[in-house]
Structure 1
Amino acid sequence: MNTKYIDLIDQTYYFPQEEFTLEGEYLRFHDIPLNELVERYGSPLKFTYLPKISENIQHAKNWFAMAMAKRDYQGKYYYCYCTKSSHFHHVLNEALKNDIHIETSSAFDINIVEQLKRTGGIKNDTYVICNGFKRDHYIENIARLINEGHENCIPIIDNYEEIDLLTEAIDGSFKVGIRIASEEEPKFEFYTSRLGIGYKNIVPFYENQIKNHDKVELKMLHFFINTGIRDNAYYWNELAKCLKVYVRLKKICPSLDSLNIGGGFPIKSSLAFEYDYQYMVDEILNQISIACAEADVAVPHIFTEFGSFTVGESGGAIYEILYQKQQNDREKWNMIDSSFITTLPDTWAINKRFIMLPINRWYDEYERVLLGGLTCDSDDYYNSEQHMNAIYLPKYKRDKPLYIGFFNTGAYQETIGGYGGLQHCLIPQPKHILINRDANGTLMYELFSPQQKAEDFLNILGYGQEKAKKASKAETLQTSGLK
């Protein structure tokens, strides 16, 4: 009878897979010996495997290069990294090794861009695509970047006032894009995206505010839908509406030469994940080519803004099962040594699935369990990797530690979770390990940040300030000769 965990995986999925293999009873991720990682650093821990970032960027570049060669597509392709997915220096540093461009979302992003320019990571010809709703600080930073000579900074107009705000702040002429306010998926709570300008209003907006403006040149039309690039009727319908707007604009605006199709390539969230990236790229370029040929206009340069696709599959989190609580005749709760709410907030906020697998004990018998976090919040649990509303793991044994890993967690979790700040119930942020390879392919490990300590929380909460005030007062008294 097949009762071991390895048997369950073998009969459910194709295994091993490209990134997941076994060495004895231990799981390896991109050939990283995860059990040795735990032995070296303990748990809980998070890690970032940097080579995966470059690998995914090169995959996308190759898909577009092949599709463009196949169709003799005359435009160019520009890969942009959506920085809000992960702003960390090690992520940007790795991504920028691949001759890419940057998409920003808010004012402080520009400060990061300026820092990267000073260190050579971003060059003068790097495109900086500025998305988001823009007000004083963001406008000021964008203007400073353009005024200092970064001509390839393109603010994407989100509302009717931004042209005037940018014109007042920028000294000379500048390029802009316009974001389309796409219609949301039918099951969504709203009909139209709050971001951008409606399909019907874009051409009138151009004619009223840009066409005769002596400082502004329309360079780009920006298209993005919240559900990402999916092979369904909703996506293709929205793309078709976008292309109708593009060809109408192109006929009256010669400077328009770029179409930004946003982001949204999915990443692997299950061992059963299937997605034909090459087909999707081929078909997108096909639809663009057909629309432009029918309208007798030149095809645009293509920009993409891949965030999760760039960094998501580089990340992972490892926890130990501390204890098992049998709450009734059906529910066994395996308690981890951290919190899902604080370390993987999307599991709680949007019920996002991540790949979850044990690190060890693959040849032990398995059982159905639920996973609970350490906070006193009833929502601090994970059951999205579902098998009948539960998860299968090797059986809990007090004398045989069990470690589990969550994979492809590299996008958004740190920023949404408030990395380095306060955490729910004051659960500390785990240590964070950077993993790379040298020229010979040997794994290299670096402790990026240790686990948070009580002092970190006390300082944030103001308790450390009391100590500092007392010390300052004592020093003042001593200096003045008072006791």
Structure 2
Amino acid sequence: MNTKYIDLISQTFDFPQEEFKLENKTLEFHDIDLMQLVEDYGTPLKFTYLPQISNNIQRAKGWFKKAIKNNKYKGKYNYCYCTKSSHFKHVLDEALKNDIHIETSSAFDIDIVESLKAEGKITNDTYIISNGFKRAQYVTNIARLINDGHKNAIPIIDNYEEIDLLSEEIKGKFNIGIRIASEEEPKFEFYTSRLGVGYKNIVPFYKNQIQDNKKVKLKMLHFFINTGIRDNAYYWNELAKCLKVYTSLKKICPSLDSLNIGGGFPIKNSLAFDFDYEYMIDEIINQIKLACESEDVAVPHIFTEFGSFTVGESGGAIYEVLYQKQQNDREKWNMINSSFITTLPDTWAINKRFIMLPINRWHESYERVLLGGLTCDSDDYYNSEQHMNAIYLPKYNKEKPLYIGFFNTGAYQETIGGFGGLQHCLIPSPKHILINKDADGNISTKLFAEQQKSEDLLKILGYDGQ
């Protein structure tokens, strides 16, 4: 009778998978011995597997290269990293090994860009695509970057006032893009994105503010929808509307030569994940080419801004099950030694699901459980997996510690959770380590941040005696 946890996974999914396998009856992630991490660093623990950042960038570059070749597409492709997914220096350092460009979304992003320039990590040839609503400091920082010689900085115009604001501070001519305010899926609470300029208003906006403006040159049209790149009627319909705007604009604006299709590639969130990236990219390139050919305009260079796709699959978190509470005849609560609200806030805020697997005890019997965090908040729980209607884990045994891992958590969790700051119920941020792999496949680890101490939090709260 197959009643062990390994049997459940093997019968439900194709296992092992590229990044997950069992070695000595415990889980490995990209050949990383996770139990060894637990023994070396303890739990709760967060980690970043840096090589996966480069892996995903190179995968995407390869798909676009193939699609461009297959479709005999005349434009070039530029990969931009969306910094808001993770601003950490170790992330940018790894990503920039791959000849990429940067997308920014706020004023302090420009300070990061300038720091990276000072280190020689990026140059004036690196595209800096600046999105977002631009308050005064953001405008000033963009202007400083351009005035210092970064001609490949392209602010993306979000509203009708930004051209004038930028013109006041930028010396000489500069390039811009315009963001399309896409129409949202019918299930959204609003019809049109708050970001950008409406489809019907873009050509009149160009004619009124840009066409005769000798200081400004329009180079890029920016397109992005909140649901990301998906193979559904909504995405293809919005892309078709975008291409109609592009071709109309191109006919009256010779300087327009680039189309930014944003980001939004999904990342693996269960062992059953299946997304045909190669097909999607090939079809996007095909649709762009067909639209331009039908209107007899040159195809644009393609830009993307992948954030979660770049860094998401590099991250993970490991917890220990501290205790099991049987609250009624049906519900067993496994209490972890941390908090979901503070360490994986997307599970609480937007009900996001990550891959969750035990690290050890795979060859023991399993049970259905709920997972609870340490805070006194009723919302601090994780109760279901996307691939099944419940969580199943090896049976709790207080004599045998059980460790569980959440994987592909590398995008947004640290910044949304407030890295280094106050956490809900003053639950400390866990220890964080960086994991690398050399050319010979040898894995090395480095402590990035210790677990927060009480004095760290008390100082923030004003209890430091000053």
TM-score normalised to the size of structure 1?
A: 0.96
Task: Provide the rounded CA distance (Å) in 2 between the counterparts of 1:215 and 1:350.
Answer: 43
Aligned to 1:472: none
Change (3 A) 1:265 1:189: same
Aligned to 1:444: 444
Task: Provide the rounded CA distance (Å) in 1 between the counterparts of 2:384 and 2:341.
Answer: 14
**C-alpha displacement at 1:386, in angstroms?**
5.0
Asked if the contact 2:52/2:314 (under 8 Å) is kept, the reply is yes
Asked if the contact 2:353/2:386 (under 8 Å) is kept, the reply is no
Q: Who wins on radius of gyration, i.e. which is larger?
A: 1
Q: Among the aligned pairs, what percent are the same residue?
A: 80
Deviations 1:249-272 (A, max 9, x none): 000000000000000110000000
Aligned to 1:381: 381
Asked if the contact 1:19/1:29 (under 8 Å) is kept, the reply is yes
1:297 is the counterpart of 2:309: no
After TM superposition, list the pairs within 5 Å mapping 1:308-347 onto structure 2. 308-347=308-347
Task: Provide the rounded CA distance (Å) in 2 between the counterparts of 1:260 and 1:23.
Answer: 43
Aligned to 1:455: 455
Task: Provide the rounded CA distance (Å) in 1 between the counterparts of 2:119 and 2:20.
Answer: 36
Task: Provide the rounded CA distance (Å) in 2 between the counterparts of 1:439 and 1:462.
Answer: 48
Deviations 1:17-36 (A, max 9, x none): 00000012200000000000
**C-alpha displacement at 1:5, in angstroms?**
0.1
Task: Provide the rounded CA distance (Å) in 1 between the counterparts of 2:124 and 2:66.
Answer: 28
Asked if the contact 2:270/2:387 (under 8 Å) is kept, the reply is no
**C-alpha displacement at 1:2, in angstroms?**
1.1
After TM superposition, list the pairs within 5 Å mapping 1:254-269 onto structure 2. 254-269=254-269
**C-alpha displacement at 1:387, in angstroms?**
7.0
**C-alpha displacement at 1:349, in angstroms?**
0.3
In structure 1, the residue corresponding to 2:321 is in which secondary structure? strand
1:93 is the counterpart of 2:93: yes
Task: Provide the rounded CA distance (Å) in 1 between the counterparts of 2:389 and 2:64.
Answer: 39
Asked if the contact 1:342/1:424 (under 8 Å) is kept, the reply is yes
After TM superposition, list the pairs within 5 Å mapping 1:186-205 onto structure 2. 186-205=186-205
After TM superposition, list the pairs within 5 Å mapping 1:191-230 onto structure 2. 191-230=191-230
Deviations 1:209-230 (A, max 9, x none): 0000010000000000000000
Task: Provide the rounded CA distance (Å) in 1 between the counterparts of 2:73 and 2:439.
Answer: 36
| 122-131 or 380-389, which deviates more | 380-389
Q: Which amino acid aligns with 1:370?
A: L
In structure 2, the residue corresponding to 1:116 is in which secondary structure? helix
Aligned to 2:363: 363
In structure 1, the residue corresponding to 2:191 is in which secondary structure? coil
Asked if the contact 1:27/1:359 (under 8 Å) is kept, the reply is yes
Aligned to 2:431: 431
Aligned to 1:123: 123
In structure 2, the residue corresponding to 1:97 is in which secondary structure? helix
Aligned to 1:62: 62
TM-score normalised to the size of structure 2?
A: 0.99
Asked if the contact 2:174/2:215 (under 8 Å) is kept, the reply is yes
1:25 is the counterpart of 2:14: no
**C-alpha displacement at 1:135, in angstroms?**
1.3
Task: Provide the rounded CA distance (Å) in 2 between the counterparts of 1:454 and 1:390.
Answer: 35
Aligned to 2:83: 83
**C-alpha displacement at 1:439, in angstroms?**
3.0
Asked if the contact 1:347/1:384 (under 8 Å) is kept, the reply is no
Aligned to 1:481: none
Aligned to 1:103: 103
Aligned to 2:164: 164
Task: Provide the rounded CA distance (Å) in 2 between the counterparts of 1:150 and 1:56.
Answer: 27
Q: Gaps (5+ residues) in structure 1?
A: 470-483
Q: Which amino acid aligns with 2:425?
A: C
Asked if the contact 1:351/1:384 (under 8 Å) is kept, the reply is no
In structure 2, the residue corresponding to 1:367 is in which secondary structure? strand
Asked if the contact 1:104/1:128 (under 8 Å) is kept, the reply is yes
**C-alpha displacement at 1:64, in angstroms?**
0.3
Matched length: 466
Asked if the contact 1:348/1:379 (under 8 Å) is kept, the reply is yes
Aligned to 1:473: none
Asked if the contact 1:352/1:384 (under 8 Å) is kept, the reply is no
